[in-house]
Each structure stands twice: as structure tokens, then as C-alpha cells.
Chain A
């Protein structure tokens, strides 16, 4: 970096390379590469994986892909927008619970109550706020719109008043804590610590049937590809550039006449919607949603995958989320203790020494923005300046 580079590392979260559209590179070549990439992804997800994997492994992969969908959203909000959201579990959970409530009601049959309510709640009739979820026309949009509405509420309050970045991270985390406590506290209507379990049907299909499980997998894979495409469009749009600009110099963007609060809000709400959709897809894939899946710890684990893969890239979060989830399954079954050390250590090393994530290692080969060593050296000189 030359002397022209402006103030050093003002918001250095941020030292991660921006991998947006690069000037001097043909748009057509980029588009071709994307098309090839998506085709390759589609072949892998829709042909190779179902052929190569057993039913059990495929349903595990379906679960990982749900986490990858959450990661796309975090990649936009955090990697692009610098909004460290530690509460994506809330949105994942809202989507998941909305879906699970509908499926539970469908399982129970018209006019019936889910089994656990008589057990814990000793309720005589369905609580008022459960009732709309009986209709798929309400429940399905709600899986996405409900999380988006909550994100809009918190986001507009926080961003408009220019609450500092660290405060936002802590508030988003506190939201996750509050939601878990609320879910556990209202055991009679939410299932408490157990959550909503034992979901059997999915719009008339029996989820125990491997064929239907496969269909759910294809549904999730299709959603992942579609959202990746959507995220790519968003990132490459003028809005995407504005978002990066807000991350790197919010005040300067404000002086240019834009409203950073709106820019951030859009990213946060988008991420929330994606997490909600992921939660909704997670429920038929796994058959359960519970507070343990959406609390503080899982919320941060979403972020771990994104950080490891590369927060500022499009594909990094997806691959990182899948890789971390896969490693957890592979290692934690046999060596639960070792896995926790590994997970913590990996997170420390990546964030402290390789803020671009593993994607930064690859980008050196492609000659964009210098390798990790160059970047490390550059950061050192900046810090010294």
C-alpha cells in the first residue's frame, strides 16, 4: 500500500480484502465464471452428493446446508457490512419455530392440540398466538417475515441512534439470551427446554420415509443455490458497494449524502430473513427445534464458520459453515473434549492471524489483493504508522 492510501486501518475489522467486482476485469468473464461455478455447485449438490452419500450422510449434509444458508446472511451483514451479529440464532429460531408450530398443528390434525401442551401446559385450548400458524398461508411467509420484522425493529432502533458497533454485537447477543430464557420459561406453550420435537409430517409427506428426506434435501440444496445467487446480485449491485463503503468509512458515506442506518438495516434484515428460511428448512430436515439450537452458543458458532471460511467473500462463509459443522460431527462423536479445544483454537488463530479466513489463502493464488503474508506485513506497517 502506498502513501496515498489514506488514514491507516481506521476500521480494521475490515483488513479483510474486499472481493467485490474488480475494476479492469471483464464483466463477461466474471459472469461466465459464475455460471460455471453455479453449474458445478448444482452438479455436486444434486447429482454427486445423493449418489455418493448414504441416506444418513445425506440428511446430515442437509443439516449443514441449512447452517450454510445462515452463513450467507452473516457474510453479507458482517463480512460486507461490518455488522457483527451474534444473535442469528434468534432469527433461525423464529423461522424454525414458525415452521415447527405449523407442522405440529398439522400432525395433530384439525382442531387438535400438540401433544406436549396437555403434558406441560395443561391447557384446554390452543393459545391465541398459535392459532394463525395452523394455516400454511400464514406460517410459511412468517418463517421469513417474522425474523425480518424483529431484525427491522431492533436494527432501526440501534442503527438510527448510531449505537456503536460493539454495542450492537452485545445487544444482538443479549436478544438471543432473552429469547432462549423466554422460550424455556413459557414451557406450556413452547415446549420449554425440549422445544418442539417429534415432527412427523411435512405437508402430507411422512418425514420418516427416506424418499421424502431426500426431497427435503433437494429443497434445501435448491434454496442454498438460489440464495447464493441472490446474495451475489446484492453484493454486485450499487447497494453492495455502498454497504462495503459504510463498513470502511461510515462517516464519509454520511458526508456523501447517504444514510448509513438504512444501508445497515437492509443488510441486517436480509441476513435475518436468510436465517429464518434456514431455520424453517432445518425443521423438516432434523425434525426438531429447541432453545439449545438457537441460544448464545449456536449463534456464535454460526459466526465461527463464516470467520473460518472468509467473512468478506461470497462462497467462503458457505464452505466454512459446512466444513466446521462437518468437522464437529466427525470429531465430537469420538473426542468431544478435543473438538472443543480445536474449535476454540481454530477460531482464535483464524480471527487473530488470518482475518480474511481461509478464502484469503486462496485469493493469493488468484493474485487479488496480495497473499496473507503480504497483507499481514502491510497491516504491521499500517499499525506502526
Chain B
């Protein structure tokens, strides 16, 4: 029973990381149909922001708290810049956004290498996040994992509320559902696109801050994360956050179970096969917005 709970929590915490890195994509890919391969590098930017702030602010706890909003703005600004310079021209060619942003991600990785050096760097975890907490039932879980879980859920809650309740959220949803109709209703779609991109990319920055708690920071850290994040959004379905939330935790638990039963590498392959099998059942993902488009 203890083993079962332990595995379950491992799965949930893998899921929380997946969710956090996929949440921004759920907005930019899921809602705007832009395949942003540089999203992983925005995560990296968030991680390096934490690292830089820790050089300035010596208290690890404070620097982490400051890093969260700063990384959001830094990564968000990078996203807006990318949108304004390149992606804006490519909305009609979704597959080409993938290629263009891959080129951008190459450049950003090299930039990170030139600025921070190719070896990985490490941040100090704040004191309260280093220990373990014992749950009833004999399961101990790492504090930083709990923190990431809470952060992921808070981000989802904030995003959901913003999309549901604020005028901006209403505009974003309108543009996603029917761009032309939104435009004739007087919504400045280009500006809404830009703000959506800011928020989506900013969330990548927040994910980057969280990832500094789990491992080293390096120029290529984004490449490996990005694929898992895309898979979450693909399986979750376009245009709905709840799909991404459910799928992130489901894949996390699947991954943890697979790892427990076999090995890490076999578990990864199992997850991939499960995803392809799932798409046989629901080719458009778990939840989809109904549209009349033939595409």
C-alpha cells in the first residue's frame, strides 16, 4: 500500500512538472495553433533568470519568490518579441511556425551558451524546500515536489479564472473560437494574439523557475522538455485547459508506473505507444472545441 501511494505521488509530481511546462503551450499551441519550439528555451530563460537573481539576492527563498514574477515577465517579453517579429507572419502556416521557432531555439541555446557558458549551473534551493514531509501511511514526499504541485495547480487556477472571468479572457476565448467574428465585433485580434503569447510564454518562464528546484540548468534543457509538453497538449486536445490538466497527471502516473515495473527507457516508449493508441480512439485529443472547419 505504501509502495502504491509512493508511486502514485511520484506520478502526480511528474504530472505536475509536465503540467507546468505544458500549460503555456496549451495557450499558444492549443489556443492559437502556433507550434512554438522555442517554448523550451523560454523555460530555460526562466531557469537562468532564477540563477541570475540568486547572484544578486543572496537569500535563496527570497530570490525564488522574486524570480517567479520576473521570469514570467522575461519569458513573456521574449514571447511577444517572437510573435511580433516572426510568428505574426505565419499564422496561416502552422507547420512552418514549428520550423521557424526551431531556428529561433537554436539561436537562443547558443546565446545561453555564450552568456552563461556551456556547463550546467545550479541554484541553491531555499531551506524550507529541501526536506521531506511525511504523509500519513508512511509515505514521505520531497518538499520541492509538493511546492511544484502547488505552483502548477495555482497556475492552472489563475489561468482558468483569468480566461473565464476577465474581459481579456473573454476576448481571448472569442478570438480562439472564431477569429473573424471576433474581429468584426470590434476585438483587436492582433493585440489579443500578442497578449495571449505573452501569458503563454510567461508561464514557460514560471516553469523554468520551478525546474531549478529539480536539477541543473543548462543551454539544452529545453529540448527534452518540449516534446513531453507538446504530447500533453496533443493528447489533451485543442482549446481546453482541462484536457491538458487531466492528461498531464495521467501521463505522469503512467510514466511512474511504467518506470516502477520496467525501466525508465521502456516506460518512455510505453507512454508513446499509449499516446498513439489513445489517438486512435480520440484523434483530436481528449477534449475539442467543436468547429465547422474541414481542416
Chain B residues whose CB sits within 8 angstroms of the CB of A10 once the complex forms: 295
Pairwise interchain contact B227-A170, C-beta atoms closer than 8 A: yes
Pairwise interchain contact B265-A174, C-beta atoms closer than 8 A: no
Closest approach, in angstroms, between the C-beta of A311 and any C-beta of chain B?
A: 10
Closest approach, in angstroms, between the C-beta of B199 and any C-beta of chain A?
A: 21
Residues of A1-47 contacting chain B, CB below 8 A: 9-15
Chain A residues whose CB sits within 8 angstroms of the CB of B223 once the complex forms: 296-297
Chain A residues whose CB sits within 8 angstroms of the CB of B266 once the complex forms: 182, 185
Pairwise interchain contact A162-B283, C-beta atoms closer than 8 A: yes
Q: Mark B113-133, 1 if CB is under 8 A from A, else 0.
A: 110000000000000000000
Chain B residues whose CB sits within 8 angstroms of the CB of A123 once the complex forms: none
Chain A residues whose CB sits within 8 angstroms of the CB of B113 once the complex forms: 337
Q: A181-B269, A348-B104 are in contact. Are A303 and B276 (CB under 8 A)?
A: no
Closest approach, in angstroms, between the C-beta of B265 and any C-beta of chain A?
A: 2
Dominant secondary structure of chain A at its interface with chain B = helix
Closest approach, in angstroms, between the C-beta of B143 and any C-beta of chain A?
A: 28
B170 at the interface (CB under 8 A from A): no
Closest approach, in angstroms, between the C-beta of B134 and any C-beta of chain A?
A: 32
Which has the most chain B C-beta neighbours within 10 Å: A15, A174, A182, A251?
A174
B28 at the interface (CB under 8 A from A): no
Chain A, Cβ-Cβ closest to B86? A352
- Complex Cα–Cα for A303 and B106 (A): 14
A227 at the interface (CB under 8 A from B): no
Pairwise interchain contact B272-A383, C-beta atoms closer than 8 A: no
Residues of B60-115 contacting chain A, CB below 8 A: 86, 89-90, 92-96, 98-100, 102-107, 109-110, 113-114
Pairwise interchain contact A185-B263, C-beta atoms closer than 8 A: yes
Q: Mark A326-356, 1 if CB is under 8 A from B, else 0.
A: 0000000000010011011111100110010
A258 at the interface (CB under 8 A from B): no
Chain B residues whose CB sits within 8 angstroms of the CB of A174 once the complex forms: 227, 230-231, 272, 275
Q: A169-B95, A340-B110 are in contact. Are A352 and B283 (CB under 8 A)?
A: no
Q: A13-B95, A177-B224, A185-B265 are in contact. Are A344 and B276 (CB under 8 A)?
A: no
A269 at the interface (CB under 8 A from B): no
Closest approach, in angstroms, between the C-beta of A93 and any C-beta of chain B?
A: 14
Chain A, Cβ-Cβ closest to B33? A166
Pairwise interchain contact A161-B35, C-beta atoms closer than 8 A: no
Closest approach, in angstroms, between the C-beta of B267 and any C-beta of chain A?
A: 9
A157 at the interface (CB under 8 A from B): yes
Pairwise interchain contact A181-B99, C-beta atoms closer than 8 A: no
- Complex Cα–Cα for A251 and B295 (A): 8
Q: Mark A154-171, 1 if CB is under 8 A from B, else 0.
A: 100110011111110111
Query: What 15 new A-B contacts, CB under 8 Å, besides A186-B265, A340-B109, A347-B102?
Result: A9-B92, A165-B95, A167-B283, A170-B227, A171-B275, A174-B231, A174-B272, A181-B264, A182-B265, A307-B99, A343-B106, A344-B107, A345-B103, A347-B106, A352-B90
Binding site for B on A (CB under 8 A): 9-15, 82, 84, 86, 154, 157-158, 161-167, 169-171, 173-175, 177-178, 181-182, 184-186, 251, 296-297, 300, 303, 307, 337, 340-341, 343-348, 351-352, 355, 383
Binding site for A on B (CB under 8 A): 29, 33, 35, 86, 89-90, 92-96, 98-100, 102-107, 109-110, 113-114, 223-224, 227, 230-231, 234, 263-266, 268-269, 271-272, 275-276, 279-280, 283-284, 294-295
